[in-house]
Structure 1
Amino acid sequence: MNDREVAEYLLANPDFFAEHAEMLATIRLANPHGKAAVSLQERQMEMLRDKNKHLERRLAELLRYGHENDSIASKFNRWTIRVMAERDPYALPRTIANGLRDVFDMPQAALRVWDVAEPYNQAEFARQVGEEVRIFANSLTTPYCGANTGFEAAQWLAPTLTAVSTEGGSTPEGDQATESIALLALRDPEADEGAATFGLLVMGSSDPRRFHEGMATDFLTQISALASAALSRLLPR
């Protein structure tokens, strides 16, 4: 019999080792953790221990993700309450950006809106943006996360300040560049699907790993949707 036939026979006769239990103690297998041989029973126990360790690591990972998601959901709820409680339309863009910085510990956050109603044309948040920004915002179907490759929107962000030690012992503040960035398109929730954007929300960090291509964007999508709904009051009706 060849290896395949032996394997097929044992699968077809699961009671074989029950009827020949003495063989379990005599079969010797190579120990993956050393040169000494071990019995089939010992090898099976070793495999089960390895499998349990893998399952324990996987469970710990899932629990960590669950705790992280709970924390983010709690922060999102606090930020939502701030946005909904803001009654002044002029202060709303600042409330959205400041809330992201305060609640989510976001180093940098800013936004711009365009094609707003006439009373808001001269507001800081409605300053002129380049046509490339509008085209890029319209192309976003999901939030962009990744390296800052010189986006015009990154210029809206205030530099991150960090203490830098000197030989004299003082700690003057130094600027840190925006290394990673998240860009969220703002669309009128009452407009037809695929309608043009009316703004762009940008978040940045000096940490190149804060926003990356492989990260989940579910919460960012929710932030975009709620910010869009709140800011739509600035549009002409």
Structure 2
Amino acid sequence: MNHFNQDAMNPITEDDIANYLANTPDFFERHAQLLAQVQLTSPHGNRAVSLQERQAEMLREKIKALEHRVMDMVRHGTENVVTADRLQRWTSGLLATRDPRGLPTQIAGELQSLFMVPQTAIKVWDCDSNYLNEPYAQWVSDDVKALATSLTAPYCGLNAGFEAANWLPEAHAAVSIALIPLRPEAAMPAFGMLVLASPDAQRFNAEMGTDFLERIAELASGALSRLRP
């Protein structure tokens, strides 16, 4: 009687059944007929299917998910190859330039064309006296210089009325923006800033990685060292 009351108070749960089957692998060997009798609901409608058919459907779904993952990996790999090729072409152009006077304009212009950036701009300060009259070496406020030096990594996000956005040909169309500080070495004050902008709010967003932009900054900074005293 006590045993009956105890079972009533603690009925067998689905977890108990699942644990029993998981720990008794030979159960279905001793009751093989059950496998053929089990009927499950198909995820593709309300029809009943056998356990084997349901397992086959699950396997097909798993294979389809893996195929999508492989396709994504191939697509990303192809995109990376294209990006690397464009970066190499951009870098080669910088190395081939003999007159450094036009380097800032070249850096911004070729980034715009090769990587299909809607708008780009660049400013360089603390230049050698030979370049102080160039447009890229003028009209840079102390606030912008301080902002560039304060950035330890490129800023990507919405254009919150940044003063540097006014360097762009169409500042009103700069919805998302990337501010890329240019400096001779890490932890040193910036001597310039590169601005990339787009009317697409997601083109330069706060969640994107900045590794590629940091590489752009290093290469551009190295090329522009020729303008410094």
For residue 204 of structure 1, give the secondary structure of its aligned residue in structure 2: strand
Per the alignment, residue 197 of structure 2 pairs with 204
Q: Does the alignment pair 1:185 with 2:181?
A: yes
TM-score (norm 2): 0.88
Quick check: which one's helix share is greater? 2
Which of 100, 106, 113 pairs up with 2:117?
Answer: 106
Q: Which runs of 5+ in 2 are unaligned?
A: 1-11
Per the alignment, residue 84 of structure 1 pairs with 95
Could you tell me whether the CA contact under 8 Å between 1:187 and 1:199 is conserved in 2?
A: yes
Please give the alpha-carbon distance, in whole angstroms, between the structure 1 residues aligned to 2:26 and 2:53. Answer: 19
**Count of residue pairs brought into register by the alignment:** 218
Please give the alpha-carbon distance, in whole angstroms, between the structure 1 residues aligned to 2:29 and 2:131. Answer: 83
Q: Does the alignment pair 1:54 with 2:65?
A: yes
For residue 61 of structure 2, give the secondary structure of its aligned residue in structure 1: helix
1:200 positional shift: 0.3
For residue 156 of structure 2, give the secondary structure of its aligned residue in structure 1: strand
Per the alignment, residue 67 of structure 1 pairs with 78
Q: Does the alignment pair 1:37 with 2:48?
A: yes
Instruction: State which drifts further: 1-10 or 117-126.
Output: 1-10
Which of 213, 216, 224 pairs up with 1:220?
Answer: 213
AA in 1 matched with 2:199: S
AA in 2 matched with 1:235: R
1:152-171 residue CA offsets vs partner (Å, 9 max, x unmatched)? 111111239xxxxxxxxxxx
Per the alignment, residue 153 of structure 1 pairs with 164
Please give the alpha-carbon distance, in whole angstroms, between the structure 2 residues aligned to 1:235 and 1:207. Answer: 35
AA in 1 matched with 2:214: T
Please give the alpha-carbon distance, in whole angstroms, between the structure 1 residues aligned to 2:57 and 2:152. Answer: 49
TM-score (norm 1): 0.85
Please give the alpha-carbon distance, in whole angstroms, between the structure 1 residues aligned to 2:204 and 2:24. Answer: 55
AA in 2 matched with 1:53: K
Please give the alpha-carbon distance, in whole angstroms, between the structure 1 residues aligned to 2:36 and 2:150. Answer: 67
AA in 1 matched with 2:61: D
- Greater CA radius of gyration, 1 or 2? 2
Identity over aligned residues, as a percent?
Answer: 49
Q: Does the alignment pair 1:229 with 2:222?
A: yes
CA RMSD of aligned residues (A): 1.8
1:217 positional shift: 1.9
1:216 positional shift: 2.4
AA in 1 matched with 2:38: I
